[in-house]
Chain A
């Protein structure tokens, strides 16, 4: 095992982490501010990917496709909030889970109805394809590098939004005391729709970015949704900072676990059983991480008391 290979895997973990952050940020905001468990967040990710694939097929422009993913996911998010989610804020979590699970089914079959049963095509644009040589002779795909940079830029933008703008103040106020900011004259209903649409847009954007190197298909959002829940539980529910740290921890654990554990096991067992044991343990690694974090910090790394 060379250092170059290890650095490449760290970059892969980082890239996975920042994409998870885009999903987890919206999920944690929605849970933190509105107290809502939104299982349909993965569907918004899928909406973004499908909107991007359709736009790219029609116009041939990847930038337009990214814009379309933001717009379509935000619109779908706002629509869902206005028609369904709004009625769920006062219900208990079980009702929310049930209703948003129904939304997953509606989104999945609706998408299949519109786009058909076969996966769609979305590709990395020419100017981002191929690989670049980083210092130290590491060859790394340019598109993945771009994803890391975009993800970090979005994270920085989100922190600025929350820390330094009026909207951000309201979001933070909404997290600490919902009734009070309503009493102070803030239009809570509009704030909620806005936050929901923002979270949806981030998920859709992640869907479009990832759709270019993966398969754009019905049901693509649900596996990511589960990981995003792990991220916000590790990071602390409601905390954007927690979502970022959690996402990168999960990304690195998952990638490096899958890479290093089988190698570690070969030190004291034969190759094929080390491979099987290693990959089995690697698949569990992020859940072990979550259990470990919860053992010492039951509210997550950055969660409130």
Chain B
């Protein structure tokens, strides 16, 4: 055993000297099975597309399925750090899984690049120099929706979200910039699929608009039932409920709905045009918000690899922080707490041929940073 270990050590040492730059090993833990699999698959596909396009041989990616379970994610992270010896972890979709994995990962000196979840804890007091969020802080898209409501002259919103931390963050985020009155505020059950009772209350409340954060199947159910209720006051939501993967299941009920997003496929910049075309070519479907985030994450990582060795933590950290890559969102930079400062747009759901998709109709917030940066002592 000793012999083998020694031999391996020498071999590794030799290859490290022989190679031009050091290899980087990335562990991707994401959701690839069960109800939330569509999101994880999009992140993975976007990430791997960027890796494939770059055609580098100094980057190795290990992908595992967390089944949307925090305990599984923690086990996978331990395995990847201890036996796979990864340098960087990424991939987690859900905030509760992120909270379980990220603090332990960065405490062991590894880097974590978040392609999706951005819980407020990790943006504020729990921020860490090795943790970078490439998507958004959880509140961002909701804040943008509140700002949009002001500019659209909506003054009496009825707001609803599921009763769990991200749902409470969502309504807090909306109220942070929204200046009008609230016709009502409801916390629904997480995973609820029938909204007849809520829709009846909205009808009775005399609201002039609805803001809802109901990710995944909950949003599909709500929109279909709302369309069937005969009401027609404007509906606003974050991009999560109007994503490319979900829209086809909602169908006509989503047409005309306004939603806020930091990315859309019609954003006019060279990186995005190339990304949208290449993604369709590779996977034969339109890219989603999540795919764009996965793609940006991979490009950020590779931009840092060009500048520094991953073993030189200080230099690699500085290279990541510089965010010197062509983001598909256009301008992109990190704030003091390693969370994005970026524009957030308003999109409208339209139909292109047979496919439901989004188009950008305006900018809700420019160079928007999150509200927790002050609490971060980095």
B-binding residues in A (CB < 8 A): 1-2, 4-5, 8-9, 12, 15-16, 108-109, 112, 117-121, 123-124, 129-131, 139, 141, 143-144, 210, 212-220, 223, 255, 258-259, 272, 275-276, 279-280, 283
Report Cα–Cα, A131/B227, bound state, in Å.
10
Given contacts A117-B37, A143-B228, A217-B217, whether A272 and B185 have CB atoms under 8 Å apart is: yes
Given contacts A118-B249, A219-B34, whether A259 and B197 have CB atoms under 8 Å apart is: yes
Report Cα–Cα, A44/B33, bound state, in Å.
19
Task: Choose among B37, B220, B228 the residue that contacts A129 (Cβ–Cβ < 8 A).
Answer: B228
* Residues of the B chain whose Cβ atoms lie less than 8 Å from the Cβ of A124: 224, 228
CB nearest to A217 among chain B residues: B217
* Residues of the B chain whose Cβ atoms lie less than 8 Å from the Cβ of A109: 33
Contact B193–A214 (Cβ < 8 Å): yes
* Residues of the B chain whose Cβ atoms lie less than 8 Å from the Cβ of A219: 34-35
Contact A139–B221 (Cβ < 8 Å): no
CB nearest to A138 among chain B residues: B200
Instruction: List, sorted by A's number, 19 A–B pairs whose CB atoms are closer than 8 Å.
Output: A5-B200, A5-B204, A12-B194, A12-B197, A117-B37, A119-B38, A121-B248, A130-B228, A141-B230, A215-B217, A217-B249, A218-B34, A223-B193, A255-B196, A259-B197, A259-B201, A275-B185, A279-B187, A283-B189
Report Cα–Cα, A108/B253, bound state, in Å.
27
Central interface residue in A5, A16, A272, by most chain B CB within 10 Å: A5
Report Cα–Cα, A141/B199, bound state, in Å.
11
Task: Choose among A16, A210, A215 the residue that contacts B220 (Cβ–Cβ < 8 A).
Answer: A215
- Please classify the interface of chain B as helix (H, G, I), strand (E, B), loop, or mixed, using the class held by over half of its residues: helix
Contact A117–B41 (Cβ < 8 Å): yes
Contact B230–A118 (Cβ < 8 Å): no
* Residues of the B chain whose Cβ atoms lie less than 8 Å from the Cβ of A220: 35, 193, 217
Report Cα–Cα, A9/B196, bound state, in Å.
8
Instruction: Encode B223-257 as 1/0 by CB contact (under 8 A) with A.
Output: 01100111000000000000001101111110000
Contact B220–A9 (Cβ < 8 Å): no
Report Cα–Cα, A216/B203, bound state, in Å.
26
Residues 162-197 of B at the A interface (beta carbon under 8 Å) = 163, 185-189, 191, 193-194, 196-197
Contact A119–B220 (Cβ < 8 Å): yes
Task: Choose among A123, A215, A259, A279 the residue that contacts B189 (Cβ–Cβ < 8 A).
Answer: A279
Interface size class of B (residues with CB under 8 A): 35 or more
Contact B230–A139 (Cβ < 8 Å): yes
* Residues of the B chain whose Cβ atoms lie less than 8 Å from the Cβ of A8: 200
* Residues of the B chain whose Cβ atoms lie less than 8 Å from the Cβ of A213: 194, 221, 224-225, 228
A220 → chain B, closest Cβ, in Å?
A: 7
Report Cα–Cα, A230/B139, bound state, in Å.
37
Give 17 new A-B contacts, CB below 8 A, not counting A255-B196, A276-B163, A279-B186.
A8-B200, A108-B33, A108-B34, A117-B37, A123-B224, A130-B228, A131-B230, A139-B203, A141-B228, A141-B229, A141-B230, A144-B196, A215-B193, A215-B220, A255-B197, A275-B186, A283-B189
Report Cα–Cα, A247/B146, bound state, in Å.
40
Task: Choose among B225, B246, B252 the residue that contacts A118 (Cβ–Cβ < 8 A).
Answer: B246
Of all A-B residue pairs in the complex, the 7 with the closest CB atoms, nearest first, are A215-B217, A215-B220, A119-B249, A219-B35, A12-B196, A214-B221, A117-B37
CB nearest to A223 among chain B residues: B191
* Residues of the A chain whose Cβ atoms lie less than 8 Å from the Cβ of B225: 141, 213-214
* Residues of the B chain whose Cβ atoms lie less than 8 Å from the Cβ of A259: 197, 201
Contact B224–A117 (Cβ < 8 Å): no
* Residues of the A chain whose Cβ atoms lie less than 8 Å from the Cβ of B200: 5, 8-9, 12
